[in-house]
Amino acid sequence: MPLVVNAADFLSQSDEIPVIDVRSPSEFHQGHLPGALNIPLFDDRERAEVGTLYSQKGREYAILRGLDISLPKTDFILRSLQKKTPFKSILIHCWRGGLRSANMAILFEQAGYQATLLHGGYKAYRTWIRQHFSGSSRLVILGGYTGSGKTEILMHLRKQGEQVIDLEELASHKGSAFGGIGLPDQPTNEQFENDLFHRWRKLDPSRHVWMEDESRMIGKVTMPEPVVRLIRESPVIILDVAKETRINRLVTDYSGVDDSLLSDAVLRIEEQLGKSRTKEALVALREKKYRDVAENVLLYYDKAYAFSINRRNGQSRYSFPVSRFDPDEIASRLIRFVHKLLRNGSHLPGL
């Protein structure tokens, strides 16, 4: 019989052993373990049919119908596994650790594979990760007004060996009304959490972790509450970048994209920006005056960020002046700045 392990053991083995997710394609798309291979026992229509039969006629009828559907597929399923991984040891899960994963495990073991099952299935995995997001609380938050280059600096911090979690990269969104322009579609909220935890659990808890200052929502995805709380409780280093520099960066980033996408983004913040300034921004956009667009938009975003940062009572804040935007040099300075503030390996002290 296949070995059955809990979520913690399953995840620790998943770093070396391939994970086979036997749920339907739509279940897999909604959310899955990062790197998992989808070899479904049922497609979406078949899963719905078996589920309906279970609720209307009972478990026995559903099992028999499931066998009718799955038995003719066994050769195809085995060939799919052979194509997707050369490994003979595999981890398997379905939704709740029920018949789908058990039956697939038996099939694979008969074909010479060593299978390990996830107790409680994907549902248990989801419960477990929500309870373990606080595994590393030594965060250093990189803040600053829109256009300060936080994401680029995080990239250089990572290149210099620092631990970094890029929330915007994981969310496929830059966090503003303009944030999705030029990026792939966002993941589901469930998948975002899975991908975030995949990075989170690999952190060295003895070292601090750099993360960008983000609101609860990044585009259409929502950060897990424990992560939001840690961001609000951790020290934030606010990049003090001249507005002119920020405008230049925004013009460089957005002047080459489709103007209709920029127009749609401006209209999404019309209520906050005001009708008059929205009109000015749209006129400037039609005239290709991207600097004027950026100046108008920053009036809203600067005010919003100042309000957000100033209402966080008790959060340690440090201003970090940036006179020349060289992300590699800024990253080096930030590392020295934080190491100087660290005392005996403890958290950053408050002001």
Q: Give residue 345's pLDDT band: very low, low, confident or very high (50, 70, 90).
A: very low
**Predicted local distance difference test score (pLDDT) of residue 349:** 41
Q: Give the residue-averaged pLDDT of 272-300.
A: 94
**Predicted local distance difference test score (pLDDT) of residue 4:** 96
What residues have CB less than 8 Å from 326, skipping those under 6 apart? Answer: none
CATH number of the domain that residue 163 is part of? 3.40.50
Q: Give residue 311's pLDDT band: very low, low, confident or very high (50, 70, 90).
A: confident
Q: Which domain holds residue 82?
A: 3-130
**Predicted local distance difference test score (pLDDT) of residue 136:** 58
Average pLDDT of the chain is 92
Question: Among all residues, which ones are annotated catalytic?
Answer: 94
Task: Determine, yes or no, domain membership for 250.
Answer: yes
pLDDT at 137 over 80: no
CATH number of the domain that residue 7 is part of? 3.40.250.10
Q: Give residue 176's pLDDT band: very low, low, confident or very high (50, 70, 90).
A: confident
Q: Give residue 269's pLDDT band: very low, low, confident or very high (50, 70, 90).
A: very high
Percentage of the chain exceeding pLDDT 70: 96
Q: Which of 130, 160, 195 is the last residue of a domain?
A: 130
* Residues 34 and 159 grouped into a single domain: no
* Residues 114 and 164 grouped into a single domain: no
Q: How does pLDDT run across 24-50, given as a tens digit for each residue?
A: 999 999 999 999 999 999 999 999 999
**Predicted local distance difference test score (pLDDT) of residue 167:** 96
* Residues 72 and 143 grouped into a single domain: no
* Residues 94 and 147 grouped into a single domain: no
**Predicted local distance difference test score (pLDDT) of residue 346:** 43
Q: Which of 205-209, 284-288, 294-298, 319-323 has the lowest mean pLDDT?
A: 205-209
pLDDT at 56 over 90: yes
**Predicted local distance difference test score (pLDDT) of residue 341:** 79
**Predicted local distance difference test score (pLDDT) of residue 277:** 93
Model's pTM, two decimal places? 0.91
pLDDT at 94 over 90: yes
Q: Give residue 175's pLDDT band: very low, low, confident or very high (50, 70, 90).
A: confident
**Predicted local distance difference test score (pLDDT) of residue 256:** 84
pLDDT winner (highest mean) among 144-158, 250-264, 331-345: 144-158
Q: Which of 108, 130, 152 is the last residue of a domain?
A: 130
